[in-house]
């Protein structure tokens, strides 16, 4: 195996960041993470990029570990002021976090590339892995509920994922162009990993950027996906309910179906071992490991397992 091993991780927010922290902890790995921008939304005139910030804060060691998102040791005084001024403040934004959103918005208004802004933020926070955007164009997830179309944050935060999801679209996706950095990270990787992130609204909008999925299919590297579902349930979040509501199987077979032709291996939990054959029927080889990452040791252990799998796959 090449040292350093170039690992490119396709990742959403919380589940993606856990996997990223695992690879970042390994010696001999050079990690690039392609994150999701379709959860981005404007609040109080500021451009907020929740999934990219979760990656940045996690890899910088600043994340609120209990929540899995946001900065630890946060205050909410800025939000108190906005509330007093009559702003609707259902989106929780901390004081330290506001600083990043102010700076990002300033740079976007100046015409800087969102990719450059994300890279500069990561560097300023001391993040070593590369954080890449799939596109610099504006792509935003919209969710159709029985009450009509809403933004992703309205669904996820304001309505706490309560409405049934009828349809998902990525506004702006047809015109979006992939970034050269993301394409290069895919074509140049020694190993591509699809993180245990929501396949519909985290991985989905990355793959949907025209050119990204083709690049993945064309890439010479082995592609390993990690299931976000264990025994048909999410660790956290709405992925299982969303999949079921949209007529997909909400289990590892549904994940295998989604990543058919893209991933070579699907890492599933011991709890799902009995479904290995169904996973195989979609052309992915099921690999059984402990895929729960409650702490740093387990993140690094799972990342190590994946690197080892890639090594033995190549040797075989
Ligand atoms: P979001 O953008 O913050 O919603 O986060 P992601 O889309 O990256 O990740 C959400 C997914 O991560 C959910 O479907 C969870 O089931 C999954 N997840 C969270 N923690 C773990 C874990 O420790 N192991 C695995 N396998 N999946 C996890
Ligand atoms: Ca997200």
Q: Summarize pLDDT for 168-178 with one digit per residue, the tens.
A: 999 999 999 99
Residue 78 lies in a domain: no
Distance separating alpha carbons of residues 125 and 119, to the nearest angstrom: 10
Tell me which ligand sits closest to the C-alpha of residue 50: 2
Ligand 1 pocket member 196 (CB < 6 A) = yes
Q: Are residues 123 and 150 in the same domain?
A: no
**CB-neighbour burial class of residue 8 (10 A; exposed 0-12, middle 13-18, buried 19+):** buried
pLDDT of residue 3: 86
- And the tokens for 224? 């390993």
The packing angle between helices 296-315 and 14-24, to 10°, is 70
Same domain, 264 and 281: yes
Distance 204 CA to ligand 2 centre (A): 11
Q: Where are the alpha helices (DSSP H) in 3-113?
A: 14-24, 50-59, 77-84, 95-109
- Rounded to 5°, the CA angle 233-166-263 comes to 50
121 and 156 in a common domain: no
Q: Are 147 and 237 contained in the same domain?
A: no
Nearest atom in ligand 1 to the alpha carbon of residue 54 is: 3
Q: Are residues 239 and 192 in the same domain?
A: yes
Q: Are residues 181 and 162 in the same domain?
A: no
Nearest to 191 by CA among 43, 31, 73, 21: 31
Yes or no: say if 253 and 272 are a contact pair by the CB < 8 Å rule: no
Q: Is 54 inside a domain boundary?
A: yes
Q: What is the mean pLDDT of residues 50-67?
A: 96
In angstroms, what is the span from residue 293 Cα to ligand 1's centroid? 10
Task: Assess if residue 95 is contained within a domain.
Answer: no
Each residue's pLDDT tens digit, 186-225: 999 999 999 999 999 999 999 999 999 999 999 999 999 9
Q: Do residues 189 and 310 both lie within one domain?
A: yes
Residue 228 domain-assigned (yes or no)? yes
Q: Does 93 reside within a domain?
A: no
Q: Name, in order, each residue with C-beta under 8 angstroms of 70's C-beta and a sequence gap of 6 or more.
A: 57, 63, 64, 92, 94, 97
* Ligand 2 center from residue 84 Cα (angstroms): 29
Which residues is 34 bridged to in the sheet?
10, 132
* Same-domain status, 50 and 192: yes
**Domain membership flag for residue 306:** yes
pLDDT tens digits, residue range 118-169? 999 999 999 999 999 999 999 999 999 999 999 999 999 999 999 999 999 9
Given 152, 170, 188, the domain boundary residue is 170
Task: Using the mean position of ligand 1's atoms as its centre, give its distance from the Cα of residue 143 in Å.
Answer: 19
Report the separation in Å between the CA atom of 109 and the middle of ligand 2, taken as the mean of its atom positions.
24
Q: Are residues 42 and 123 in the same domain?
A: yes
Best residue among 64, 202, 236 to mutate for probing ligand 1, ranked by most atoms within 8 Å of CB: 236
> 186 Cβ partners below 8 Å, 6+ apart?
8, 34, 192, 212, 215, 216, 219
Are residues 160 and 181 part of one domain?
Answer: no
Q: Cα separation of 92 and 79, whole Å?
A: 8
Q: Does the CB atom of residue 201 touch ligand 1 within 6 A?
A: no
- Quick check: is 76 in a domain? no
Domain CATH number, residue 200: 3.40.50.10680
Structure tokens at 27: 């010696």
- By most ligand atoms within 8 Å of CB, the mutation choice from 21, 55, 235 for ligand 1 is 235
Locate all alpha helices (DSSP H) within 90-147, ordered by sequence: 95-109, 114-124
Q: Note whether 24 and 121 are same-domain residues.
A: yes
Best residue among 232, 237, 259, 268 to mutate for probing ligand 1's pocket (most ligand atoms within 8 Å of CB) is 237
Ligand 1 pocket, 13 CB below 6 A? yes
Please indicate, yes or no, whether residues 200 and 293 belong to a single structural domain of this protein: yes
Judge whether residue 307 has pLDDT over 90. Answer: yes
Distance of alpha carbon 225 from alpha carbon 256, whole angstroms: 9
Q: What is the DSSP letter of 104?
A: H
| pLDDT for res 314 | 78
Q: Ligand 2: distance of its center to the CA of 2 in Å? A: 32
Cβ–ligand 1 distance for 16 under 6 Å, the answer: yes
Q: Is residue 296 part of a domain?
A: yes
CA dist., res. 248 & res. 200, Å (int): 11
Q: Long-range contacts of range 163-169, CB-CB < 8 Å, 24 or more positions apart?
A: 164/245, 165/238, 165/241, 165/242, 165/245, 165/246, 166/245, 167/143, 167/246, 168/141, 168/142, 168/143, 168/144, 168/200, 168/201, 168/204, 168/242, 168/246, 169/141, 169/142, 169/144
Number of domains in the chain: 2
Could you tell me the residue range of the domain that residue 159 belongs to? 140-170
């Amino acid at each position: 195996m090449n040292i350093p091993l170039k690992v490119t991780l396709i990742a959403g927010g919380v589940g993606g960041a856990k996997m990223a922290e695992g690879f970042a902890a390994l010696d001999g790995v050079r990690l690039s993470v392609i994150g999701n921008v379709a959860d981005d939304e404007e609040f109080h005139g500021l451009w907020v990029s929740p999934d990219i910030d979760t990656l940045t804060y996690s890899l910088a060691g600043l994340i609120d570990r209990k929540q899995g998102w946001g900065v630890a040791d946060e205050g909410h005084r800025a939000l108190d002021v906005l509330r007093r001024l009559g702003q609707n403040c259902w989106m929780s934004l901390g004081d330290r976090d506001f600083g990043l959103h102010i700076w990002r918005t300033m740079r976007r208004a100046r015409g800087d590339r969102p990719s450059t802004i994300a890279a500069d933020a990561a560097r300023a926070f001391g993040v070593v892995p590369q954080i890449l955007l799939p596109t610099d164009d504006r792509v935003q997830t919209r969710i159709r509920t029985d009450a009509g179309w809403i933004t992703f944050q309205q669904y996820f935060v304001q309505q706490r994922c309560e409405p049934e999801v009828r349809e998902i679209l990525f506004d702006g996706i047809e015109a979006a162009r992939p970034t050269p950095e993301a394409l290069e990270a895919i074509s140049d990787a020694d190993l591509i990993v699809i993180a245990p992130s929501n396949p519909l609204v985290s991985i989905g909008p990355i793959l949907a950027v025209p050119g990204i999925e083709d690049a993945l299919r064309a890439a010479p590297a082995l592609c390993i996906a990690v299931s976000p579902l264990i025994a048909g349930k999410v660790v956290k979040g709405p992925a299982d309910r969303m999949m079921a509501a949209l007529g997909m199987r909400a289990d590892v077979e549904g994940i295998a179906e989604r990543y058919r032709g893209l991933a070579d291996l699907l890492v599933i939990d011991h709890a799902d071992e009995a479904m290995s054959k169904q996973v195989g029927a979609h052309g992915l080889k099921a690999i059984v490991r402990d895929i729960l990452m409650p702490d740093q040791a387990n993140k690094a252990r799972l990342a190590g397992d994946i690197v080892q799998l890639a090594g033995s796959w190549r040797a075989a």
